[in-house]
Structure 1
């Protein structure tokens, strides 16, 4: 897949970065793109480029300001910024927002640029604590920290860019591949982990048709380790469906064993899981849960495991649900891919 400067500019607001990364594209995988991005950002972008990228971000706790710019890069970047700050805004109070505003102003007066942090999955209190912790830093130290945070944000956005591209790709691959590998990879993805499924009768799944139109299971996932800038390999993944006495698990109540196991797998070197369920034309509507054994993968991290619960509605039986995990030792996020 081809990527242009405008798309890379949405991932990082430095025009030098976007130009240099476009020069070395296309990329055969997200991992390759992230490696190239890190090289460009730290070795080819100068101080002015770093400051330009910093200035493209809205102040933490504020939605991106309206702009007369018709640039698709600006529009996409603003949309992503809003999503990245969603947890902070959802957990904010009027007093915490005011305190965040005051500390942001104090920080900018001292360092000359906006306080930059990879805000995805972080609460307002967590961001405030980090801002206060970093404020005493010497400017040169803080400048380097901000550049590292910018790279974390760029990596997350590159993952979103790849996901968006994959949505319109006829191959259905979650990580773009070279043309010579498409057929081989499709076969390995479809048939690599057939033993990881359970019988239709035990979990009430829709039976596979003799000639399904899908070429992959309707629910898939992958793991990106954003702290390392690489796929999360060797992580055990479980897929379950809710079969409890209530129509759905009740918030704040024990599930009393209401989850039925569908399948499991181990993520490969590209961070992709194997086949977690059968390839069927129509997936059963219901509440699903994907769990990741993050404690074994990162023993020093904060999360012993991560579970993502989502709902498939009756009207969505024919759709595909790609539910990735973007993981670091102390935060995680997800989104619906394709």
Structure 2
């Protein structure tokens, strides 16, 4: 069975019209899993900054159930359901505090505080808002995009559920079985864990991009850094990992190289494989060529992929200025 939806359906899932148009072009989908896989690729690799902001603006402020720019009635109803736990655990005073912190957040970052609120209490959301308020804007922007993707995946599941319910009488599986399958698929995206609570492996979707990616943002200019050469290596030797301060015993083996594009994103550093080889990896950036008068002739980031993580995705960005840099694990 194949699934096709209108542009307005995808706008309800994610308020970006670019996202919706690309999803329609990629239709039909063989399953929810297929649609989610394509959605992640479209959201992180095709939708631009304006599209992200458009999607953010379609969400009501946490603690409210309606946004002036809400994309559709379906989106409004989904927002209400996603915030049901928060609203049921709120008091007049906690909603007031939440509103005040929402205003502070918007003033600092320029967009609404975005969080996948399903199952979260008001206190939990407020604590997360306060924690993320300390982030730098460029870091918080990507975190918000990751939260938007979580929400989109949940809404895609609801969209497919509504279509499956219509055809359930002629379907192969019972409604209960379909619900079980949907929960399994959603969990593989929303919960970053190698196994489910039952001890059974969580199903991971087929990859649509290499398992290791990066991008570079020039925080001194507030824009992507294009044209930076990137080198990916893996440690190979007698020891499973390089020992701090030690010499010998192994070496770094070339895996791939690329250069950042106009959006600051890397090209393909590895082949698209289901399982990435566990080990210690190093991404090096030719920052001296990009900023000739900067402090760093190059920057290297070393990280480890464990055997239990070989089906996960590793996005390792570089936030760069002439005299400082930082990184984090993205998605």
Task: Give the TM-score band, short-chain normalised.
Answer: 0.5 to 0.7
Aligned to 2:189: 229
Preserved contact between residue 9 and residue 18 of structure 1 (Cα < 8 Å): yes
Whole-angstrom CA distance in 1 between matches of 2:108 and 2:175: 52
SS at 2:28 equivalent: coil
Preserved contact between residue 20 and residue 40 of structure 1 (Cα < 8 Å): yes
User: Which residues of 2 match residues 31-46 of structure 1 at below 5 A?
Assistant: 31-46=33-48
**CA spacing shift, 1:105–1:27, aligned 2, 3 Å:** same
Preserved contact between residue 157 and residue 186 of structure 2 (Cα < 8 Å): no
Preserved contact between residue 187 and residue 202 of structure 2 (Cα < 8 Å): no
Cα deviation per residue 1:55-105 (whole Å; 9 max; x = unaligned)? 0000000121578x9xxx511000000000000000001111000000000
User: Which residues of 2 match residues 1-338 of structure 1 at below 5 A?
Assistant: 1-65=3-67, 74-169=72-167, 172-173=170-171, 186=172, 216=174, 221-222=179-180, 223-224=183-184, 226=186, 228-229=188-189
**CA spacing shift, 1:48–1:27, aligned 2, 3 Å:** same
Whole-angstrom CA distance in 1 between matches of 2:178 and 2:37: 24
Task: Give the TM-score normalised by the residue count of structure 2.
Answer: 0.55
CA RMSD of aligned residues (A): 3.1
Whole-angstrom CA distance in 1 between matches of 2:130 and 2:58: 22
Q: Structure 1: where are the runs of 5+ without partners?
A: 174-185, 190-215, 238-265, 272-298, 300-338
Whole-angstrom CA distance in 2 between matches of 1:56 and 1:42: 18
Cα deviation per residue 1:199-242 (whole Å; 9 max; x = unaligned)? xxxxxxxxxxxxxxxxx4877641235464289998688xxxxx
Preserved contact between residue 30 and residue 159 of structure 1 (Cα < 8 Å): yes
Higher relative contact order (CA 8 A, sep 6+): 1
Task: Give the TM-score normalised by the residue count of structure 1.
Answer: 0.54
Cα deviation per residue 1:144-163 (whole Å; 9 max; x = unaligned)? 00000000000000000000
SS at 2:118 equivalent: coil
Preserved contact between residue 150 and residue 190 of structure 2 (Cα < 8 Å): no
Cα deviation per residue 1:165-210 (whole Å; 9 max; x = unaligned)? 111115554xxxxxxxxxxxx3xx5xxxxxxxxxxxxxxxxxxxxx
Q: CA deviation at 1:124?
A: 0.2
**CA spacing shift, 1:121–1:66, aligned 2, 3 Å:** same
